[in-house]
Structure formats: structure tokens, C-alpha cells
Structure 1
């Protein structure tokens, strides 16, 4: 932990370093403390820490912290990948996630992908097939020509495409192939080099297109990493050890996979909270005035403008933007509204917060206003003190510390891949507007005479219907991103949802809502397996934006009504406790279900509703029930 962080917590004993925890064998007991320590490390320190953390048993951590999220990964490929496992262990640990990994035998990737069930890959969340240039170069004749390379490229891409299209049971992660300089250098004429480059890039484009055809496949593009100057290979390790991708490249690959793992574990971030002075603009507004801040003028001003453009780009894709600044609010608002050099405007932010309280308090209030967990936030500031204070008081918040060189702001912000999603949905693009509506609802609640009056005044409409094809990405995203009202916390990729729907009796219901303040969109989902004797609720998820309005009761009442109409015997359900969903632990008993049994120390409970007495429909909600085939099923 840095001296800055320790200085703001001087009233308590300094926290142990990761090295001290490792030496004392205390990592399993203190695993929640590991994440902020790793996030403060540079790449070299994290690499060493990863090698040590890879020796820590996931079972030992789970014994001490049973609700720690776990991501299981199988690592396979044509080369030696020993350096990947510790890099991935450290990256996941930096976000509070455990890695349970298995490395396949050397060069067994084709057998693995050909028979994922027989090879035991279906127990994994991720199957990382790490491709390297030897899948091509090892097949070339000696001597070789560009025509030979074209033939091998065509054959290998066809093979990989076939394997990917038949693969099932986990998310398959592939990657593009680096083009080695040692390969182009063997061609002495420039025309041949250019043709090889074109063929190689076409093959990589074909690989990248695989994710468009198969929702269970992710293809990572290594070109942007190589463009940052990361070496593709280490000649000695490649020749002597069969490790055909360099350690630094595998570390950056691990960071990309880590963003995907956070999605699976429900640990992705949703809101970017920004300092202003020396972060969004140069100078100090309170000292320099609006006319004196640096933005959109000169070299430094251009750097701040570039940073603002990137922040705005993130906001346009559903990342919530907010400020936490020690400044006068009126002066900040005036700059955002009127300064001619600003790219970001007040309308880009879901909340503009500026006052003189500690930034940890401002961030906590922001999370409460938006009904977000603090682990959904990323805080960006140039001040070591402010970053330290927030990190010490709010360890769940991801902290990005900038420095006094604004040209590096963009790189530092984007490096974490904090806001990565599998696919952008229409809900993402309108998220800021929806959260602004939520703030207006909160203000309306404050003006209502009672909560019942508030609910009646919302004019709430709920639509329940079998999920449409266009809604599958959003429904999957709900299971991945929702932590509080998620009754089993099962994370489902789009392919998993599709498989459930295609099962006999499988059904996915989308819950849409709207009220006087606007459309909320697709806010929930109920996943079902239906049989003649019973319907089983596989999972029920609801966005935290629409808690406590009766939407969950209205949707559940419709399911119970439809089940009785189908003459089934009962509806069963289960609840699996996680670190975040305790708020809904009594949801089923509260709505007429009787507990049948409990397992895993009480963390898993099974329930049954005999359908004798149906759940009442909330009178303040107008329900459009597509499940019943009646688009005007209203309050009764």
C-alpha cells in the first residue's frame, strides 16, 4: 500500500503488504485485501505476485470466504503457456475473483476443441485457445513461397472456423495471429512481403468475424496490443521452451480475458466518476477562473480535450458519467454549460457533484442516488491524496490515479478495460437518460405524501412477454450484471439463454416497464422450465433501477396465474445466496412459496407454490401480460 493511502488511515495500524500476507500464509483469510494491493502494483510487481498467488489454493480461499466469485478456465493452444496462468490469476485477484484453472497438455488444442465434453472442457466458464503463428509456420514446406502460406492460412482458418462452430458448453476465446517479422524478413522481394501481409490480415479478419456468427465465441484482437510496443515473441523462449508468445504479450492477453471474466462473475463497472481540476481540464477553476483553465488550446489544452473526447465516447455507449470535485457547484456548472472549449457538457453527466466534503463521502452519496453498489464505480483523479483517501475508505471502488501529464490520461483510463461488455445493446445507449429519470423519480418520491401515493402517481405499466430474438443480448446482460435482485446469481451468456429457450418446456420472459417519467426498457427476466406436473423458475432477475415498485410481484403473479391455467401441479423455485443478493433472501416466502429444503449451510433454499391461493396483483400497476395471450390483462 502506498504511503499516501497509509497517511489517510494513520489512526489504524498499516495494512500488511501482499508479500507479508504471502509469507505468513494469510492470503486465504485476507483475500478481500488482496485486490486493492494488486491494483496499486505496476506490471512487473503484479507479474511476480501472480506467480505466488497461483500457488494459493482456491479451496482455501473459499473456505474462509465462501461467497468469493470463481471463474473456471481451461488453457490450451499450440505452444507452452506457463506464463499465462499466473498472469490471469493476478488479474482476476485484482478484482476479487478466484481463478480455477487447468492447462491442457502441450499442443492438444485441436483435440480439446474437437471433443469438449470428452476432454472435460464443459466444466469451464472460459476455454482459452491461445493461438500463435506456429499454427501456420509449422505447416510450411521448406523452402516456402507465399502461395504455400496462402494455402496453409486457408486450411487453418477453415479448421478453426469448423471447430468454433461446433464448440459448445463454455465461452470459447480465440485470438488473432501476430505476423512475425522473422517470417516477412525471409522474403527478399517487397511485393511478396506485401502479399503475405494482405493474406495474413485477411485470415485475421476471418477469425474476428467468428464472434459475429457465434455468440459463444470471443476473438481477441492482438494487433492493438502489439501496436503499443509489446513484443510478440521472445526468441529464446520460443526456440528452447516452445513458448511462442512473449510473457508481456500474455500478460496483456490476461488483462483482456480478465475483463471477460469480470462479466462472468458480475464484477463489471457501470459508472465513471471524474475529478475536474487537472483531470478534465488544466488548472484549478477556483484559482484560475473559467477563462484561465486549460482546454482546447495549446498542447496541454489539446491533451485535456482528447481525454474529454474519450470520456464522452464511453458515455455514448452506456457508461454513466459523474463528477466528484472539490469546487463551487455553480462555477462548475457554468463551465460545463458555457465554456467554448469544452467537449463534455452538463448533459453528458448523470450527476454533476461539486462541494467541499471528502470525495469518499461524495462518491458514497452518488452510489446511493443512483442505487448502484460502490463496486460498480471507477474513480479517476490526478491527486495521490484523493486517490488514497477514496481507496482507503471505499476499497470496493476502482481508483485510477492520473499524473501531471495529461497526454497519458487516455492510456491510464482505458488500460483497465473497466466497462467491457460482450455486446452493446439498445439499453446501453440510453442508460444515462434512464438514470436521469431515476433521479427525477427520487425527487418525486420526496415530494409525495406517502410511498403508496408515490406508487399510485407513477402510472406504472409493466409488460411481460416471451423474450424476442432482439432482446437476447440484453437478457443475458441482465444475468451478468445484476447482483442484488438475482435469485440464483447464475450468469448466462446469450448462447445459454438460447439453449434454455430451445429446450422442451423452456421459456424466457422479458419484463419491460414504463411510467410517467419515461420508458425503463427491459428491466427484468424470469427463466422457466415447464412440465406437466410442475413449472420451475430457473432464475428471476430485476434491475436495481426498479426495485420496490411492485414490478417483481406483478410479474410473479402472472407466472403463477399462467401455471394454474396450464393445470400444472405447482411452481418450484430456488434461492442461492451470494455476497450481494441477501436483500431478496425472503422473496419467495413473502409471496406464498413454502420452503422445502436447504443446502450448503442454508445458502441454497428450495421453494414450492401449490397454486391454491394466487398472489394478488398490485393495484397501482397496469400489466400487459403476453404470457396469458392477453395484451390487456390489467389490475384485478
Structure 2
């Protein structure tokens, strides 16, 4: 909105009042591209202490050079993702020693800032490119060993990046043939860095080289490099910090799930009500090809699990006709999991779409060309990321993708099926209207719950559930892939997944539990469940299964906790609804002395264990 205070002024006020910046200001901060503004924001936010609304994240920063302004830029970027970082820069000149020996206790992410000095010898011969290539391979092997050793000592994820080949190195070789060989060797080095992500779940790599190639920011300022061992400009550091922010957003489970799209001058050029379906600009030459690329990009996002919602002020019949009949349309009506095509305010329509899908409004990104509509949504729904589609349509795709709002650590089968799962949810809601009682409806749904002990193949999905589930998250403990994998391998712990299917389709893995079974009493360290299956009694069936499993193993009691947060009020009554007794301070217990006191599975749910499904 035009009357909003300056971003830095808003951040200063939040720090002074000891509160988190507003969701709208976090979005504004994420969209800042000026490194100087980020430096100032980072200095302000360094005074922000533990506050509600930002997830704590401990980040170690190890560099082969001076980090300069990177700490401030990185802090501002991370806060914009909704996390409160505790940054711990490593000592200058001790990169390898720190990576080799530090236990990294309590650290969540170890981010590396690498330059060419990590791989090049101090002096090298331009006439011996083959020898230089061998040296690069050896240094890559050294770094690989250090990184893999570090992740074996801790639960942190190491995030590193590809390294640009400096012009003065490349151009020092005057032979075209030798220069090509040098570039090939450097490309092989970067290929090896990228390959580290495939060698361990606790390693992630971002391709800084390609990011710089697609940016107006220069990688290097030669004077700063020589004066202060600062190999990267503030612009390059901003780009790297943006990539770290995208990763931290994924790790904290703060990525978005829904893309809400306007139509006129967003998915096609022109106003449908004025020019008709045949008159909109779509496909062919510019600007129609730019709008079609927006549709193609949205379709690719949908293929990877992003839920599409149509939010347009238009005549619904005219829109359906255009989406169905126009030969250049790539997003047909079935591509959208929910549609809000009417003349009502879009903020209200987005609220209703979130309710119909069973998703929080904070999981939405909204793309619209109208400053008025964007401003109204920003005002009414500050948790929504609002992106501008006005101006040159050639830039819309970049606007949509640049910040990685929808990034995930790894695509799972549930991610790929998500759009259809949410379409099924709307069909399920319509189906419910034809029954006299809720129990009749639930029996007619033919709900099936499949319980399986998690294995290595389930780690990514289970960790994703821990990171991204907020509403039905009993304790808020977010076990990442490393910790989940350790618990799966430990006989004193049990990690279980829950999958649901009904007459409308397979929901996939929608929940998980982490249980400590090391003593006479079992403790549920956390239980998370996707809100899209709530209301079907699934959570009660899960409690019944846990109780019976613990009883069969000889446990004397099953204990659990509920730790309230701003978002998990939905789960408040879970333990008492399941038959547990409250003991105060969020603790609950169920005695397992006899079969008679064990909770039962709701009659309309068919509960199966994994081995029963296999048979």
C-alpha cells in the first residue's frame, strides 16, 4: 500500500518493540534486491532477540576468505524467510581446521563461502593446464572428505555452492585450446561440488555460477579483492544469501503450497469480458507468448505438487468457455484444485479457497496484475505472498520463480499427487451433502488407514511432514532427515507413517509419529497429521494403534504431550479425545494394564498394517 512506512523504518520499530516483523514486511524484505538495503536491515535485525513468530535457526558460516558484509546480508535474507538466525562465523584463515574438528553441537546449517583460493595453488603455470586440472581434482577430494566427515559428526546440513572461474585466471591462459581445457577442468570441479548433494542427505549444493550468469550483479570487485580479501561483491553475496534463504525456508517447513492466479493480464493479455475468448492475447508472438510461458510455468509447478487456485473477477461461464475452448490455453479447468471466479473481493475468495482446501492462508502465493487487488489482499491477508504481474509480461515468470517460494528439499510421491488430492477434497465436501448424519457419510467414504514402520525410503517424506505441518503438530519438535534416519535405525525408537485412502482416492502418507520406546513406558515425542484428513477420525485410529502396539510390547503406559503454539490449537483436545488422562503442564498418559482400557478404532475406518497391505 502507498501509505505503508519505509521498510527499514518498519523493521526498526519491530526490533524496538521486541516483536517479529509483520508477515507483509517479511515479504517486502524477501523481495529486496538492493544489497545496501539488506546490509542496513541485517544490522537492525541483529538486535532482534527470541520472538514469537520466527523459527530459531543456528547457522555456522565458514569461509575461505573474508566474509565482509555477508553476515548482515545473510541475516536479513534469513529473517525474510520467517526464521530468526543465530549466526556463528568461523575464525578467519581456519576454514579447513574448523570443518575438520568442530563438533557443530546444536548447529542446524553449516553454510560455506568458497572462492577460488580453496582449489587453486598459490602459484600455477599457465603452460601446465593438465597439472592444474590434477590439482583441482585433489583439492575437490580434500573438500569432499572434510564435508562428509563433518556431517557424520553432527545433525547439521552443510550447504555449499559452485565457484565461478575468475576472469584473471581464465584470461591468463592465452592459448585458446589450453583455455578451453582450463574451463573444462573448472566445470568438472563444479560438477564434483554439485555431486556432493547426491552423496549424503545432509549435504545441499546451490549453483552460484548459473545464478551469477543470470544476474546483473558482477561477481568481483578487483580492488576490494586485493584490499581486503573480499572475492565477491555485495551483489554476489546477496545472490548467495538468497539461495541460503531458499534452503532455510525449506528446512524450516516455510515453503508455500498454493499458487493463486488471476486471469486477465496475468494468464493472458487483455480483459476477457471486453474482448472475448478469441480476443485475448495468448500464444504466438509477443506479448501472447509471454503469457503462455506463465501458464507453462504454472503447469510445471503443478506437476511438482504446487496447488493451483483460480482467483478472477470475471463471469464464471465465460471463463470456463475460454479455458476449455481456446486452443492456446495450457491450464484447462481441471488444472485448478479450487476456483473462485466471481465479482467478490479477492481477499475473501482466497480465504474461502483456503478453507475449502483445508490449508492455512499462509501457504498461499497470489499473482495479480491489479495494484488495487494486490493492495487489498496485502491489507486483509498479510500472510499471503503477493506478487505483481503488471508491467512487461516478459518479466512475470522471473517474478514468480526468483525467490523459490515453492522449493522443497526433495520431491515425494505425495508432492506429485498433491494437486489431485486437493481436487478430491472439494469433491469429498460436495459428496458430504447427501447424507443424514456425519457417521453415515464417514461409513460411505470407505476410509482406509495404513500404518507402517518407516524405512530409509520414507525419510524424506517424514522429515517434510515434520517441517511443514503446523496445525496438527502436538509438540512442535521438527525432526529433520538426519535425526529421523537415526531414530529409524535405533531399536529404542519407533518412527511410524500413516497413509489414508478413501473412495475419492489415495491421500498418500499424511502423518507420522516419533516414539521413544526405551523404557517401561513409551513416550510419543511428536505426532503430526495433515489437516486435510482431519474430521474422519483418523487421529483417533492412530492413537488406538499406538496404544495397542505399546501394550503388545509390554509397555505399562503410553505418554504424550501437547505443547501449544500459535497454529496448533486444532490439536489441543487430541489426547483427551483419545482416552488419555491429563497430568498437567501439557502431559497426558494412558495406562496399559489391560486390554479393556485400550481405545478403539472408529467403526468406519479399516486399519491395516503395511504387511497386511502387501498380502
TM-score normalised to the size of structure 1?
0.91
2:9 corresponding residue in structure 1: 19
- Shift of the 207–20 alpha-carbon distance from structure 1 to 2, 3 Å rule, reads closer
1:568 and 1:611 map into 2 onto residues whose CA distance is 7
Q: Which of 494, 500, 505 is matched with 2:487 structurally?
A: 500
SS of 1:122 mapped into structure 2: coil
2:122 and 2:540 map into 1 onto residues whose CA distance is 61
SS of 2:282 mapped into structure 1: coil
Contact 1:279 1:304 (8 Å CA) reproduced: yes
1:631 and 1:145 map into 2 onto residues whose CA distance is 62
Q: Which of 16, 21, 29 is matched with 1:31 structurally?
A: 21
Deviations 1:370-406 (A, max 9, x none): 0110110000011111111111110000011122211
TM-score normalised to the size of structure 2?
0.94
Q: Which of 247, 260, 264 is matched with 1:273 structurally?
A: 260
2:49 corresponding residue in structure 1: 58
Single out whichever of 437-446 and 369-378 deviates more from structure 2.
437-446
- Shift of the 365–185 alpha-carbon distance from structure 1 to 2, 3 Å rule, reads same
Q: Does residue 590 of the first structure (1) align with residue 573 of the second (2)?
A: no
2:390 corresponding residue in structure 1: 403
2:443 corresponding residue in structure 1: 456
1:116 corresponding residue in structure 2: 102
Q: Does residue 104 of the first structure (1) align with residue 90 of the second (2)?
A: yes
Q: Does residue 170 of the first structure (1) align with residue 170 of the second (2)?
A: no
Deviations 1:203-257 (A, max 9, x none): 1111111111211110111122111133222212221112222211111111111
Deviation at 1:530, TM superposition (A): 1.3
Deviation at 1:277, TM superposition (A): 0.6
Q: Which of 201, 216, 219 is matched with 1:232 structurally?
A: 219
Q: Does residue 365 of the first structure (1) align with residue 352 of the second (2)?
A: yes
Contact 1:38 1:46 (8 Å CA) reproduced: no
- Shift of the 365–24 alpha-carbon distance from structure 1 to 2, 3 Å rule, reads closer
Contact 1:571 1:610 (8 Å CA) reproduced: yes
Q: Does residue 255 of the first structure (1) align with residue 238 of the second (2)?
A: no
2:31 and 2:189 map into 1 onto residues whose CA distance is 38
Deviation at 1:23, TM superposition (A): 6.5
1:632 and 1:552 map into 2 onto residues whose CA distance is 23
1:324 corresponding residue in structure 2: 311
- Shift of the 35–23 alpha-carbon distance from structure 1 to 2, 3 Å rule, reads closer
2:62 corresponding residue in structure 1: 76
1:610 corresponding residue in structure 2: 591
SS of 1:340 mapped into structure 2: coil
1:445 and 1:453 map into 2 onto residues whose CA distance is 9
Deviation at 1:138, TM superposition (A): 4.5
Q: Does residue 132 of the first structure (1) align with residue 115 of the second (2)?
A: yes
Alignment of structure 1 residues 422-501 onto 2, 5 Å: 422-501=409-488
1:151 corresponding residue in structure 2: 134
Contact 2:522 2:559 (8 Å CA) reproduced: yes
SS of 1:123 mapped into structure 2: coil
Q: Which of 38, 42, 46 is matched with 1:47 structurally?
A: 38
2:96 and 2:9 map into 1 onto residues whose CA distance is 39
Contact 2:158 2:203 (8 Å CA) reproduced: yes
SS of 1:564 mapped into structure 2: helix
Deviation at 1:535, TM superposition (A): 1.5
SS of 2:22 mapped into structure 1: helix
Contact 1:21 1:27 (8 Å CA) reproduced: no
- Shift of the 484–371 alpha-carbon distance from structure 1 to 2, 3 Å rule, reads same
2:182 corresponding residue in structure 1: 196
1:282 corresponding residue in structure 2: 269
SS of 1:443 mapped into structure 2: helix
Q: Does residue 205 of the first structure (1) align with residue 191 of the second (2)?
A: yes
1:476 and 1:92 map into 2 onto residues whose CA distance is 21
Ranges in structure 1 where 5+ consecutive residues have no aligned partner: 7-13, 599-604
Deviation at 1:202, TM superposition (A): 1.0
- Shift of the 354–49 alpha-carbon distance from structure 1 to 2, 3 Å rule, reads farther
Q: Would you say how many aligned residue pairs link Structure 1 and Structure 2?
A: 607
SS of 2:408 mapped into structure 1: coil
Contact 1:459 1:515 (8 Å CA) reproduced: yes
Deviations 1:435-463 (A, max 9, x none): 11111111112332222222111111111
Deviation at 1:18, TM superposition (A): 3.5
- Shift of the 25–439 alpha-carbon distance from structure 1 to 2, 3 Å rule, reads closer
SS of 2:144 mapped into structure 1: helix
1:596 and 1:172 map into 2 onto residues whose CA distance is 41
2:554 and 2:42 map into 1 onto residues whose CA distance is 58
1:576 and 1:607 map into 2 onto residues whose CA distance is 11
Contact 2:365 2:385 (8 Å CA) reproduced: yes
2:395 and 2:124 map into 1 onto residues whose CA distance is 46
Deviation at 1:347, TM superposition (A): 2.0
- Shift of the 107–349 alpha-carbon distance from structure 1 to 2, 3 Å rule, reads farther
Q: Does residue 533 of the first structure (1) align with residue 520 of the second (2)?
A: yes
Single out whichever of 84-93 and 333-342 deviates more from structure 2.
84-93
Q: Which of 297, 307, 311 is matched with 2:294 structurally?
A: 307
2:511 corresponding residue in structure 1: 524
Deviation at 1:317, TM superposition (A): 0.4
- Shift of the 285–328 alpha-carbon distance from structure 1 to 2, 3 Å rule, reads same
2:68 and 2:166 map into 1 onto residues whose CA distance is 21
1:92 and 1:371 map into 2 onto residues whose CA distance is 28
SS of 2:305 mapped into structure 1: coil
SS of 1:31 mapped into structure 2: coil
Contact 1:128 1:173 (8 Å CA) reproduced: yes
Deviation at 1:615, TM superposition (A): 1.1
Deviation at 1:48, TM superposition (A): 4.2
Q: Which of 238, 244, 254 is matched with 2:231 structurally?
A: 244
Deviations 1:445-486 (A, max 9, x none): 233222222211111111111123322211111111111111
Single out whichever of 280-289 and 577-586 deviates more from structure 2.
577-586
SS of 2:265 mapped into structure 1: coil
Deviation at 1:416, TM superposition (A): 1.4
1:601 corresponding residue in structure 2: none
Deviation at 1:20, TM superposition (A): 5.5
Deviation at 1:293, TM superposition (A): 0.4
Single out whichever of 501-510 and 214-223 deviates more from structure 2.
501-510
SS of 1:58 mapped into structure 2: coil
